[in-house]
């Protein structure tokens, strides 16, 4: 098997308060390969968001090993971690975080000005239009966010992440602010992107939407309690 894009080995995260320690996740082992579509599931407080933040290099680990494309991240300084994050990871959050004063095109282009300032105007335009085409929103390039539905705004947020050509999309509750119709449409889009080769790791509390993914893992009280790959469920505690 190819080297994984992301690999966690015995990763734990502890938050230290004045008189209490909170073990957010404990001894997580996880690999995400090119082309995977993984859903992270679990009840509120199970550690889903903490795990996604760690995968996105938005939070440090307390112990264990975390590699991105074979690079051990735990020994890197903040600037080098940021470079690695910008190079390999695209984020899609529950909140769309679009700037109302900018067009759709400029919202998608904005991160590229900071991440890849050497891009020519032509190359940037090509990146943005390609990303909008992937999410079927090319016809909305000159519209403002307030002219779009919630589902369309989420598509633009996905395009913004895709424009950076990341190794993986980290997606946090992508349907959380959408009605069921728009939620279904966004999930269908993510499935299509994965079929076209995009690697996706998604946090969701919705079992139905988790079914769109090829693989699922279940967290409970910060512990990975089950993995489901190709319709085979493995109880981690039983598997050793």
pTM: 0.91
- pLDDT, one tens digit per residue, over 116-170 is 888 899 999 999 999 999 999 999 999 999 999 999 999 999 999 999 999 999 9
Q: Which residues of 43-82 are buried (b: 16+ CB within 10 A; e: fewer)?
A: eeebbbbbbbbbbbbebebbebebbbeeeebeeeeeeebe
Is residue 225 within 8 A of residue 236, CB to CB? The reply is: yes
Q: Is residue 99 part of a domain?
A: yes
Going across the sheet that includes 89-92, the strands are: 89-92, 168-172, 200-203, 37-41, 215-220, 223-229, 232-235
Q: Is residue 17 part of a domain?
A: no
- pLDDT, one tens digit per residue, over 66-122 is 999 999 999 999 999 999 999 999 999 988 999 999 999 999 999 998 888 888 999
What CATH number is attached to the domain comprising 83?
Answer: 3.40.50.300
Averaged confidence pLDDT in the chain = 92
- Residue whose entry in the numeric block shows the structure tokens 């992440």: 161
Q: What is the DSSP letter of 87?
A: H
Q: Is residue 69 part of a domain?
A: no
What domain range includes position 167? 35-60+77-215+223-228
Structural domains in the chain (count): 1
Q: Is residue 208 part of a domain?
A: yes
For the chain, what's the residue count? 240
Question: Nearest CA to 205 among 214, 192, 218?
Answer: 218
Q: Is residue 205 part of a domain?
A: yes
Q: How far is CA 61 from the centre of its chain?
A: 18
Q: Is residue 100 part of a domain?
A: yes
CA dihedral 42, 47, 48, 51 (to 10 degrees): -150
Is residue 37 within 8 A of residue 199, CB to CB? The reply is: yes
Q: Please, which contacts does 43-46 make with residues 24 or more away whose CB atoms are closer than 8 Å?
A: 43/205, 43/220, 44/205, 45/221, 46/219, 46/220, 46/221, 46/222
Q: How many angstroms separate the CA atoms of 103 and 146, rounded?
A: 10
- pLDDT, one tens digit per residue, over 200-235 is 999 998 899 999 999 999 999 999 999 886 544 445
Q: Are strands 37-41 and 232-235 parallel, antiparallel or unpaired?
A: unpaired
Q: Is residue 160 part of a domain?
A: yes
Q: Is residue 235 part of a domain?
A: no
- Going by pLDDT thresholds of 50, 70 and 90, the confidence category of residue 236 is low
């Amino acid at each position: 098997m190819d080297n994984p894009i992301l690999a966690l080995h015995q990763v734990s995260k502890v938050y230290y308060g004045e008189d209490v320690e909170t073990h957010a996740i404990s001894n997580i082992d996880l690999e995400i390969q090119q082309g995977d579509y993984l859903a992270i599931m679990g009840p509120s407080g199970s550690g889903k968001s903490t795990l996604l933040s760690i995968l996105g290099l938005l939070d440090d680990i307390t112990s264990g090993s975390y590699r991105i494309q074979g690079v051990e991240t735990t020994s890197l300084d903040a600037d080098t971690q940021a470079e690695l994050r910008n190079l390999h990871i695209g984020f899609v959050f529950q909140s769309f975080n679009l700037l109302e004063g900018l067009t759709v095109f400029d919202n998608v282009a904005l991160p590229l000005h900071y991440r890849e300032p050497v891009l020519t105007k032509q190359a940037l335009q090509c990146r943005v239009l390609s990303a909008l085409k992937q999410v079927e929103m090319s016809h909305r390039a000159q519209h403002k966010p307030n002219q779009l539905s919630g589902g369309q705004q989420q598509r633009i947020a996905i395009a913004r992440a895709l424009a950076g050509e990341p190794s993986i999309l980290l997606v946090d509750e992508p349907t959380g602010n959408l009605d069921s119709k728009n939620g279904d449409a966004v999930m269908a889009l993510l499935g299509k992107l994965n079929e076209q080769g995009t690697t996706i790791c998604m946090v969701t509390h919705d079992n139905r939407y988790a079914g769109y993914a090829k693989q699922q893992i279940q967290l409970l009280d910060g512990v990975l309690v089950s993995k489901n790959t190709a319709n085979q469920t493995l109880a981690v505690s039983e598997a050793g």
